[in-house]
Amino acid sequence: MKKIVSYFKPYTWQSIAGPLFKLLEATFELLVPVVVALIVDKGLGEQVNGGYPYADKGYIAAMCGVLALFGLLGLVFAVTAQYFAARAATGVSAGLRRDLFRKLQSLSYKDLDGLGTSAMLTRMTSDVDRLQSAINLALRLFLRSPFIVFGAVIAAWIVDPASLGCFVLTVGVLAVVVFSVMFACMPLYKRSQSDLDAVALSTRENLTGVRVVRAFCREDEERAIFNGRNEKLSKSRRFAAAVAAITNPLTYVLVNAGIVLLLWTGAIRVDGGALSQGTVIALYNLMSQILVELIKLANLIVTVAKGAACGGRVEKVLLMTPSLQIDEEKEEKREGAFVRFENVTVRYHEGGEPALENVSFEARRGETVGIIGGTGSGKTTLVNLIPHFYDVEAGQVLIDGQNVRQKQLQSYLREKIGVVAQKAVLFKGTVRENLLWGREDATDEELLWALDVAQAGEVVKEKGGLDAKVEQGGKNFSGGQKQRLTIARAVVRRPEILILDDSASALDFATEAALRKAIRGLNATIFIVSQRTSSVRHADKIVVLDDGKAVGIGTHEELLASCEEYREIHFSQVDSSEKEGC
């Protein structure tokens, strides 16, 4: 938890002030039994015939005023402590969420694939919330409760040294019980949070894929899967709660046993004249305070155990080292093509089959390169290596003679490369706000130009212009419209390298042809990923992938003559008359 402790630094003063004011409140609370003992012994005097004829009413009123003052001061200190504790807890959680989100943004695609979306959402929400609650309670009670417990023991020793053994025995047994429960609960809470990840995953999959689930009539199966994961979570949390619930009854039993022992021995000593009634009442109140505070401490430890388990999960992400390798030392620039792949091999998992194996080709400035192949052949993997979203296992990817791993090239990769992903993603807001993701300082004229290039100008005009509303995920746009808007978002950047990863699959042939014609005038090096030969046949170079290997590189005509895989793809998509002509 060392990493999380560092987040308290900006809130050091609040983290100190919160417990300090709680200790001041606790001090007044410890003085209450002493004042009550004085009221009984000095204010009421000796009991005669069931009454107190010698009661000092003025003294009693004065002591009651002192109690009221203690209560008022305790309230002020408690509210002040709560304020500072809340400031520190919310500040730490805000810092954790900020850095956790920043860390997630810095991780490679491979790291994010390993974490999983549901686990990341749980860490950003549930885990940080539990940690915040634990911090808030710890700042208020972690010092206060032990202070009152040990303060009550010391006060009991001052009031009546003979009763010290009863207090020490009770507190010792209770401490063993409370800490045993805490250490038993921590692994149980970690396990339950992992089960929560599975429930979140099932929920997210069904929300995002509800149309698919209904189309295939899989509601019952998905409901059964969710119920199974939910039941597993319920069982793990019930078991953890059952273990934690042992604390309260054991605490009550032990403390009340101590109270019974105290009253029994106290009554005998009062009867023998060795102890006053006020002292017995003071000792009883002190033991009651120990009971209340140990109950609070037990609940606090359970909450802290939950927070510690969640904090460990958050810290694990914060301490992750991105798998992308960044070379600090500048290498000598090499002459050659603008984009070059040299014997590139990529694996997603150690020991797994390579997604790409010994792929080599090059693209010059302004060229259009088509990437084609069957499903799972490695097309998306190949283009994701250009902006350095994944690392190569062997070989290298060069841009303008420099390895994409070099540190001084990282800003170029993010600023000068436009990527249109396979899945068209739009964000809630307006068309203008979505397009400005491409370049924040773009003018309306540039945005309209990008829309025209992407063949989306008429679509946006019909929707109401640049200020047209975009619902979450772009649900108020069709698949083809979303693809064109994402292409416009990349084009407005005026990138030197434009990657279109199967981003025209929902477009009709006429719109796609107009799009290809428009993007040729961008003066950019363009990579078009597609499964349709009609999308890449006019490219300057086509790379044919099959099971992660480049089985053919050339123009459309060259590949028809020399590459069997390309011929199979092409002839499966054209009519018989064209086959006969070929």
- Cα–Cα–Cα angle for 158, 160, 161, nearest 5°? 80
Query: How confident is the model at residue 580, as a pLDDT?
Result: 47
Does residue 280 belong to any structural domain of this protein? Answer: yes
Q: Which two tokens stand for residue 476?
A: 């108020």
Q: Quote the strand ranges of 327-456, DSSP E.
A: 339-346, 356-363, 368-373, 394-399, 402-403, 417-420, 429-430
Does residue 402 belong to any structural domain of this protein? Answer: no
- 266, 283 contact by CB (below 8 A): yes
Cα dihedral sign for 46, 47, 48, 54? Answer: positive
309/306 Cα distance (integer angstroms): 5
Q: Tell me how crowded residue 90 is: count the other CB atoms within 10 A of its CB.
A: 14
Q: What is the CA radius of gyration of the chain?
A: 36
Cα dihedral sign for 461, 462, 464, 469? Answer: negative
Cβ neighbours for 330, distance < 8 A, ≥ 6 positions apart:
406, 407, 408
Q: Measuring CA to CA, which residue among 491, 490, 462, 492 is closest to residue 477? A: 462
58/494 Cα distance (integer angstroms): 88
Query: How confident is the model at residue 304, as a pLDDT?
Result: 81
Does residue 541 belong to any structural domain of this protein? Answer: no
Q: Measuring CA to CA, which residue among 289, 34, 287 is closest to residue 158? A: 34
Q: Which two tokens stand for residue 102?
A: 């920043």
Residue 180 maps to which CATH number? 1.20.1560.10
41/264 Cα distance (integer angstroms): 20
- 78, 23 contact by CB (below 8 A): no
122/91 Cα distance (integer angstroms): 19
Query: How confident is the model at residue 297, as a pLDDT?
Result: 76
Q: Measuring CA to CA, which residue among 107, 121, 99 is closest to residue 10? A: 99
- How many domains does the chain fold into? 1
**541-546 and 469-470 strand pairing:** unpaired
Does residue 439 belong to any structural domain of this protein? Answer: no
- 416, 497 contact by CB (below 8 A): yes
- 270, 280 contact by CB (below 8 A): yes
Phi, psi of 207 (to 5 degrees): -70, -45
Cβ neighbours for 426, distance < 8 A, ≥ 6 positions apart:
434, 470, 473, 474, 477, 482, 485, 486
**Span 37-75, pLDDT tens digits:** 777 767 665 554 555 555 677 877 888 888 899 889 988
H helix runs in 427-555, sequence order: 431-435, 444-453, 457-463, 479-491, 509-519, 533-536
Q: Tell me how crowded residue 572 is: count the other CB atoms within 10 A of its CB.
A: 9
Phi, psi of 396 (to 5 degrees): -160, 155
pTM equals: 0.67
Does residue 42 belong to any structural domain of this protein? Answer: yes
DSSP notation for 149-199: HHHHHHHHHHH-GGGHHHHHHHHHHHHHHHHHHHHHHHHHHHHHHHHHHHH
- 561, 398 contact by CB (below 8 A): no
141/293 Cα distance (integer angstroms): 9
Query: How confident is the model at residue 360, as a pLDDT?
Result: 92
**Span 394-443, pLDDT tens digits:** 999 999 888 888 877 777 787 889 999 888 888 989 999 999 998 888 99
Query: How confident is the model at residue 170, as a pLDDT?
Result: 77
Query: How confident is the model at residue 52, as a pLDDT?
Result: 52
Ranges of residues in the chain whose predicted pLDDT is under 70: 1, 41, 43-55, 272-275, 330-333, 336, 351, 575-582
359/23 Cα distance (integer angstroms): 68
Query: How confident is the model at residue 577, as a pLDDT?
Result: 41
Query: How confident is the model at residue 372, as a pLDDT?
Result: 93
- Cα–Cα–Cα angle for 556, 558, 561, nearest 5°? 110
Structure-token match 């204010």, residue found: 43
Does residue 284 belong to any structural domain of this protein? Answer: yes
Q: Measuring CA to CA, which residue among 156, 147, 164 is closest to residue 293? A: 147
Does residue 64 belong to any structural domain of this protein? Answer: yes
**417-420 and 402-403 strand pairing:** unpaired
Does residue 269 belong to any structural domain of this protein? Answer: yes
Query: How confident is the model at residue 339, as a pLDDT?
Result: 92
Q: Residue 152: give the domain boundaries.
A: 2-318
Please report, as a single letter, which amino acid is at residue 153. V
